[in-house]
């Protein structure tokens, strides 16, 4: 079995790791940066959008568990990645680390934390029944988007903007459907 080799250049230094697995290189990568500057590492993770978890393990659908990399209390870096995905994480993180050294990116990040969001995101309501969703659209309510049901991709979920009028119409339609169902049962 051949060893995996990873080279990176950070802060003007070239670092090389040769390990038996990509996973070990990934662990070495995070250990290196956390030992170098833990707070800057956390800031860079947040800044560039590296996937994190508050759990020490990732549990997949089939029940297998993968250990996440500990950063601080209740803060872990997600490790269930392919070698190609790991490479993207390295590139993204190192570029964020280098940009923080330059300074302006760090100031922009601090400014975005201080400023409240200009636009409030609309509250959304998932509708699982197509006929009900289409009745709401016909009644003039906005269909925000549709998506596949994760537990059964054969079905689609209709996502509408939740307003008091939409909830009122939704309740009226559900009552109508229930009444029609009851009348059908009596016959």
Kindly report the three-state secondary structure assignment for every residue of 49-93.
CCCEECCCEEECCCCCEEECEEEECCEEECCCCCHHHHHHHHHHH
Which pLDDT does position 32 carry in this prediction?
92
Residue 172 has pLDDT above 90, yes or no: yes
pLDDT tens, position by position, 99-152? 887 654 444 444 444 445 556 677 888 888 888 888 988 888 888 888 887 777
Cβ–Cβ under 8 Å, residues 92 and 10:
no
Cβ–Cβ under 8 Å, residues 85 and 105:
no
Q: How far apart are CA 41 and CA 35, in angstroms?
A: 9
Which pLDDT does position 1 carry in this prediction?
58
Whole-prediction pTM = 0.52
Residue 178 has pLDDT above 60, yes or no: yes
Which pLDDT does position 119 carry in this prediction?
60
Partner residues linked to 146 by β-bridges? 158
Interacting residues of 161 by C-beta distance below 8 A, sequence separation 6+: 122, 123, 124, 125, 141, 142, 144
Residue 11: pLDDT band by 50, 70, 90 thresholds?
Answer: confident
Cβ–Cβ under 8 Å, residues 90 and 129:
no
Which pLDDT does position 168 carry in this prediction?
92
Cβ–Cβ under 8 Å, residues 78 and 57:
no
Which pLDDT does position 143 carry in this prediction?
82
Decide: residue 41, CB within 10 A, 0-12 exposed, 13-18 middle, 19+ buried.
Answer: buried
Which pLDDT does position 35 carry in this prediction?
92
Residue 43 has pLDDT above 60, yes or no: yes
pLDDT tens, position by position, 51-108? 888 888 888 778 888 888 888 888 888 877 788 888 888 889 998 888 887 654 444 4
């Amino acid at each position: 079995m051949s060893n995996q080799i990873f080279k990176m250049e950070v802060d003007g230094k070239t670092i090389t790791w040769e390990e038996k697995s990509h996973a070990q290189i990934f662990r070495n990568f995070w250990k290196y940066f956390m030992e170098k500057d833990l707070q800057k590492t956390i800031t860079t993770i947040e800044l560039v959008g590296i996937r994190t978890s508050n759990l020490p393990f990732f549990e997949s659908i089939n029940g297998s568990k993968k250990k996440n990399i500990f950063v601080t209390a209740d803060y872990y870096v997600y490790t269930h990645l392919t070698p190609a995905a790991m490479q993207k994480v390295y590139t993204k993180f190192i570029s964020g680390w280098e940009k923080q050294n330059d300074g302006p990116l760090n100031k922009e990040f601090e400014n975005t934390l201080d400023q409240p969001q200009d636009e409030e995101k609309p509250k959304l309501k998932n509708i699982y029944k197509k006929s009900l969703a289409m009745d709401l659209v016909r009644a003039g309510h906005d269909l925000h988007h549709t998506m596949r049901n994760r537990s059964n991709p054969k079905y689609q979920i209709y996502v509408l903007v939740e307003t008091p009028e939409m909830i009122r119409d939704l309740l009226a339609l559900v009552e109508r459907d229930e009444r029609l169902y009851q009348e059908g049962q009596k016959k």
